[in-house]
Every structure is written in C-alpha cells, then in structure tokens.
Amino acid sequence: MTVEWNLAELLGYFGTWSASQRYLAETGRDPRTEIDSKLRAAWGPETQKRVIAWPLHLLAGRKN
C-alpha cells in the first residue's frame, strides 16, 4: 500500500496512532514535537510529496 504525502500529512497520520494518543495522555507532550525538527531537516521542503509505503499482508480463507 502506498500514498504520496507531504510532511504535514505524515505528521497528521502519526497523530492518529493510538500510541501517540497514549503518550500525549500520559506525559502531556505530543510525541510529534519530539521528532519534528529532525524530520523536517531530513524531509526537505515541507510541501514536497514523498512516497510512503506499508507492506500489506492478507490471509484469506473460506469457512466451511
């Protein structure tokens, strides 16, 4: 599965993770702010789209 996202879209996606929400609830800090500067430095122009890819595995069967 692939998408083309800019940096804001990727950071927004990170914010949807349950782990991100749990970290925020437990510490009062948004975990995205802790990686923001390093990610921005590595990303390049903020509006630049990059391909984000996830492996997708399916196990399909039929119940008899």
Asked whether the beta carbons of 48 and 5 are under 8 A apart, the reply is no
Does residue 29 form part of some domain?
yes
Location of structure tokens 């509006």: 47
Q: Is the pTM of this model over 0.75?
A: yes
In a domain, 59, yes or no: no
Q: Inform me whether the pLDDT recorded for 64 exceeds 80.
A: no
What pLDDT, in 10s, does the model give residues 11-30? 999 999 999 999 999 999 99
Number of domains in the chain: 1
Q: Does residue 27 sit within a domain?
A: yes
Q: Which of 33, 38, 42 is nearest to 14 (CA)?
A: 33
pLDDT-derived band at 62, boundaries 50, 70, 90? confident
For residue range 28-51, list pLDDT tens digits in order: 999 999 999 999 999 999 999 999
